[in-house]
Amino acid sequence: MSNITSQACLSDGVPGGPLFVGVYSTVFLVGLVLNLTALAVFFRHGKSRSHTVVYMTNLALTDLLLVLTLPLRVYYHLGFSIHLPWLCDIVGLVLLANMYGSIFLLACMCLDRCLAVSFPMSPRVCEARKKAPLVCLGVWVLTVGASLPAYISKRAEASAAAATNNASCFGNFPFYATQPVALASTLTVGFGLPLAVMLASSWGLLRAIGRSAAAAQTELVDSRKIRRMVATNLVIFLICFLPYHCMLALLYMYQKERPCPLLVTYWYSLMLACFNAMLDPLAYYFTTETFRRKMDVGAMRRMFPLHNSSSNEVQHKSRGPLNT
């Protein structure tokens, strides 16, 4: 049933064309450069790595994994056949793992900043923040483990229809994701809970900054930058992930009819989710003082190698007490 609907939509040529090819190619090129640059900055300055940077490093890694799978999607949307169904399934698994890995890591970053600002002197909070590597490990295990049932389900469905045409490599109906149990856990644990954490943490962070006496001293805390950081993270989160989860709910409501326009819109929402791999590094630069300063200084050193000592002095003087 799902294959019939998918093939009918594919026969109209909806998921092909220059839009998908252009978007996936752009995300691949820009995301590859930005995420590699971000990882180079993070690992180069590993000795001064804060807890927030630990989350950023893992976020850049998962974004890089997604970016590396996009050439196959470009190849597919150019109209070429992919004769390795297992490869399509693995690429789909990477997309799911990246999506929910990014969701959880963004929520963890937001909560970490809130705790750091709201309870800067609390020993319990300091000890909890030191567990950032373990939290990231748990996110990887959770996201990959939660994505495996979808992969196994797709393999079982492909085995039941062994003679199926592989032209619908990335155009199948999300059968597993629209099952009641999977959909409920996805909308609550996978999206709703992290969104609630981000909203509560953002509110707590802004509230703490508003009540802080240091917020009035721009040399210590720039409240405008913090508000911009909070707004940027929330906007990226909602733009990339809200449409996909809304489409899952709509596909569940119309699971029997499975109208082609709804299914095509679902494919567009998946494409939109991939933008996260390109937007996250931009968020590092525009909202994180440490990342921006270190990347700029590194670039200046490459451009002016004779002035290393002076640039070191400038970097030392530019350090402020707020290191996020």
Q: For 181-214, write each residue's pLDDT tens digit.
A: 889 999 999 999 999 999 999 999 888 877 765 4
Q: What is the mean pLDDT of residues 261-283?
A: 88
> Where in the chain are the domains?
17-293
Read off the tokens for 50.
Answer: 């804060």
| pLDDT > 70? residue 29 | yes
DSSP code for 80: -
Rounded CA separation 102/299 (Å): 28
Asked if the model's pLDDT at residue 251 lies above 70, the reply is yes
With beta carbons less than 8 A apart as the criterion, state whether 250 and 225 touch.
no
Joined tokens for residue 318: 């530019």
C-alpha–C-alpha distance, residues 17 and 19, integer Å: 6
**Residues 191 and 146: beta-carbon distance below 8 Å:** no
Terminal alpha carbon distance of the chain: 50
Q: Is the pLDDT of residue 308 over 80?
A: no
Q: Of 176, 178, 144, 172, give the one whose Cα is nearest residue 246.
A: 178
Per-residue pLDDT tens digits for 171-185: 777 888 888 888 999
Q: Does domain 17-293 have CATH number 1.20.1070.10?
A: yes
Q: What is the pLDDT of residue 193?
A: 95
Considering only CA atoms, give the Rg of the chain: 22
Residue 38 has pLDDT above 70, yes or no: yes
Long-range contacts from 303-307, C-beta under 8 angstroms, 24+ separation: none
- Closest by CA to 239, choosing from 69, 63, 103, 68, is 103
The position carrying tokens 């609907």 is 5
**If pLDDT is split at 50, 70 and 90, which confidence band does 32 have?**
very high
How far is CA 257 from its chain centroid?
31
pLDDT tens-place string over residues 51-86: 778 888 999 999 999 999 999 999 888 888 787 878
pTM exceeding 0.85: no
Q: Give me the DSSP letters along 172-241.
A: ---TTTTSHHHHHHIIIIIIIHHHHHHHHHHHHHHHHHHH-GGGG-TTT--HHHHHHHHHHHHHHHHHHH
* CA dist., res. 135 & res. 127, Å (int): 13
Q: Please determine, for residue 323, whether its predicted confidence score (pLDDT) is greater than 50.
A: no
